[in-house]
Amino acid sequence: MGKTMKKLLLLLALVGMVTMGCTDNPSSDDQNSSTEQPGPDVPVGDEDLSFTHNTDTTPEISHEGGTARISFTTSLSWSVSVYADWLSVSEDEGEAGNGSFVITAEANTTTRERKGVVAIKLSNNKSYEITVTQSFNTDSDDIEFINNTNTAPRMEYGGGTVQISFIAKTDWTVTCYADWLSTSESSGKKGENSFFITAASNPNDKERSGVVAIKTSNNKSYEIKVTQDPNAGIMQLTVAANEVLYTTIFDTQLNLYKENGFGGNLISHSYDTEKGYGSIRFDNYVTSIPSKAFKDCTTLESIYLPEGVTYIAPDAFEGCTNLKYIISPNSDNYTMFVYNNEIMVVAPAETHFVIPEGVQTVEQGVFANSKVESIVFPKSMKSIGNYSFQNNKTLKSIVFNGPTRIGKSAFYECSSLTSVTFALTTTSMGTSVIEEMGFKNCTALSSVIFFEDEFYSIGSQAFYGCTELKRLQLPQSGAFGNCVFAYSGLTELTIPGGISLHSECLSYCNKLKNVVIEAGVTEIPDCAFQYSSLQTITLPNTIETIGEKAFYGCSSLISLTIPESVTSLSYCALSGAKGELIIESKIIEANFSSTTIPVKTWLKDSRFSKLTIGDNITKIGEYAFKDYEIDTITIGSAVEYIGYNAFNERYTSAYFKPTVAPIPASGNFDLKIATMYVPRGYLDAYKNWTNRANEIVEYDF
């Protein structure tokens, strides 16, 4: 060996030693070093989009706010959508190649962790989600009041109720430091909570105040100070058994609409301006107030009834818009009339109502002319009459404390109503019934809280047109009528497994983006999501039937998976829908076996850009996907037979997973435009099967 060669070998040996000395050794003493080692970008994703190895697709950001960079490579143009108002992005679209944008999160001032989604959508409609998690400040207060809660409410002297809503970081208790105050809850768990403070009527001529305190398990206390107006000074009058007394706002005599039906014949009617009240006398005991007796007596302010009155017609005071007090042995705190201790028939012009325990029924039309703003129904309440609050323009909040039947159109077009709470707190369960159109067109309604363990029977169009109702936590069980949430403002919804749905239940919801249906639901009814703006939906493996036009016109769909449990797809079930369609089901339909995809009627006029047929499908029926605007198709590994004209000839790419080429009904399978991808190692089988061998490419599935 020459000298030159020896020198070369020595040099190579030295280089090798130096290289070994510089190599990152996992057993070295510097194992805890956090310095990132340089290296190539290792992509994660699929053939359409690859994230670089530095990109975290589930970033966690501090409560103080921060950023996360998302970097990727794609062969297609792309756009970005943000599904949380506290997130923003630096770029919202781009072209094929290397892409990058920055996600920015605002500071989290709430007392709970929050998550938000940013989605990259490619021009082929495939979507990739980045889920951002943001912590909350653990040094912040234990209680965060929400929903515009007033922590220093003022009550009218007649009594009333106020809702306290908050988010608690710990378990909590509540204590009243005034005997005239009470609360609907005495304790609770961490998370989002709500309870009601009720004030009794103030018998004194002075203002009074009391404190309700929320105490957390960290011994932090948060006070709500309640102030109540003094008694306005109701006249104390003695009423004879054969008379009715009253006062008016202008000290003038009323014009009675009806003079008979009181139990006796009218003998005199006068108004004493010096004493400040009017007197209506009869020749016999007064036992009832007949229908429309005081109709349109707009100056009537208070009425005094004798003890013998046991019945008041629901429309006895129709149009009495200034009636404030009903004073009789049968009235509670001068604010309502209840007979037989069960049936409420009159509600004067009070703004806050707490109906007393024991009352079971509110008669039809009782609150037709009321100026009520909030009302609390007792646990004893069984029935609220039809049209009771229809077209009421002042009512803002309602609380039900037990199972109740809400009559037809009971709260129809209550345009100021924002909150409905079913606050059942007893251990006895029951059924609440909301009859048809119960809350229809309540356009300000933004919060409905169901008691999750109670069964609800909700009639047709019950929440139809509630355009501000964006989010809703449904009960665990119930039966919902047709169009129950149609034309509502819902943006997302989870449907528990114990819920049965009816036709058009979520149709024309133009803000609805995401729906999760939980295991137990067996049917998607006819027109269920027709013309909604649905983007994603999760169907459980308990769904058996998808009804006619169930997803008709859902042109915003990103992806839809038909689960394996589905045995029937009805006419036009997916018509007009777009996005990616994944079929895992062994669909059963007339004249086809349980492993067959049937004829095309259920896909009529659909516009899915990508179709994936599951690995358990064995047969594809004739015309199944003929004439549909599908760009890319994937055939599952178990497909053995493809029916006559099952596919069109306009695919840009087709992926065939079977290792044994499917048998086409009409000879060779002909895709004149498509590039076909077949399992690696099985190219010869597919060359013999099609006359377009030059467009077949081997592929690793």
533 against 427, higher pLDDT? 533
With a cut of 80, say whether residue 10 has pLDDT above it: no
**Percent of the chain with pLDDT strictly greater than 70:** 79
State the residue for tokens 């498509």: 674
- Rounded Cα distance, 612 and 202, in Å: 70
State the chain's mean pLDDT as an integer: 80
Model pLDDT, residue 364: 76
DSSP 193: E
425 against 300, higher pLDDT? 300
Q: What is the pLDDT of residues 437-476, one digit of tens each?
A: 999 999 999 989 887 778 899 999 999 999 999 888 898 8
Contact 557, 534 (CB under 8 A): yes
Model pLDDT, residue 359: 79
pLDDT band at 590 (very low <50, low <70, confident <90, very high): very low
Q: What is the pLDDT of residues 364-382, one digit of tens each?
A: 766 766 778 888 888 888 8
CA dihedral 266, 268, 273, 274 (to 10 degrees): -130
Is there a common fold for 143-228 and 491-701?
no
Model pLDDT, residue 621: 72
pLDDT band at 111 (very low <50, low <70, confident <90, very high): low
85 is written with which tokens? 């108002």
Cβ neighbours for 450, distance < 8 A, ≥ 6 positions apart? 422, 456, 473, 474, 475
559 against 413, higher pLDDT? 413
How big is the chain, counted in residues? Answer: 701
pLDDT band at 22 (very low <50, low <70, confident <90, very high): very low
Q: What pTM value is reported for the model?
A: 0.58
- Residue 609 Cα distances to 335, 374, 548, 554, 601, angstroms: 63, 51, 21, 13, 18
Q: What is the pLDDT of residues 424-445, one digit of tens each?
A: 544 445 688 999 999 999 999 9
- Rounded Cα distance, 315 and 345, in Å: 9
First to last CA, the chain: 53
Backbone phi and psi for residue 566, each to the nearest 5 degrees, phi listed first: -65, 125
With a cut of 90, say whether residue 89 has pLDDT above it: yes
Q: What is the pLDDT of residues 405-427, one digit of tens each?
A: 999 999 999 999 999 988 654 44
With a cut of 60, say whether residue 62 has pLDDT above it: yes
pLDDT band at 563 (very low <50, low <70, confident <90, very high): confident
Helix (H, G, I), strand (E, B) or coil at 640: coil
- Residue 619 Cα distances to 167, 616, 630, angstroms: 54, 10, 19
Backbone region of residue 388 per phi and psi (left: phi > 0; alpha: psi in -120 to 50; beta: other values): alpha
Q: What is the pLDDT of residues 610-667, one digit of tens each?
A: 788 888 788 887 777 766 667 788 888 888 888 777 776 666 778 899 998 887 765 5
- Rounded Cα distance, 221 and 141, in Å: 10
Model pLDDT, residue 666: 57
Backbone phi and psi for residue 346, each to the nearest 5 degrees, phi listed first: -135, 135
* Domain spanning 143-228, CATH class: mainly beta
CATH of domain 491-701: 3.80.10.10
Contact 549, 603 (CB under 8 A): no
Question: What is the dihedral sign for C-alpha 71, 72, 78, 82?
Answer: negative
- The yes/no answer on whether domain 44-134 falls in CATH 2.60.40.10 is yes
Mean pLDDT across the stretch 247-273? 93
Report CA 581 to chain centroid distance, whole Å: 25
Q: Return the domain boundaries, the chain.
A: 44-134, 143-228, 234-350, 392-489, 491-701
Model pLDDT, residue 212: 95
With a cut of 50, say whether residue 337 has pLDDT above it: yes
pLDDT band at 8 (very low <50, low <70, confident <90, very high): very low
Find which of 30-44, 79-93, 655-669 is predicted with most confidence, using mean pLDDT. Answer: 79-93
With a cut of 70, say whether residue 701 has pLDDT above it: yes
- Rounded Cα distance, 521 and 480, in Å: 12
Model pLDDT, residue 338: 53
How many C-beta atoms lie closer than 10 Å to residue 205's C-beta? 10
585 is written with which tokens? 């089901």
How many C-beta atoms lie closer than 10 Å to residue 376's C-beta? 22
CA dihedral 579, 582, 586, 591 (to 10 degrees): 40
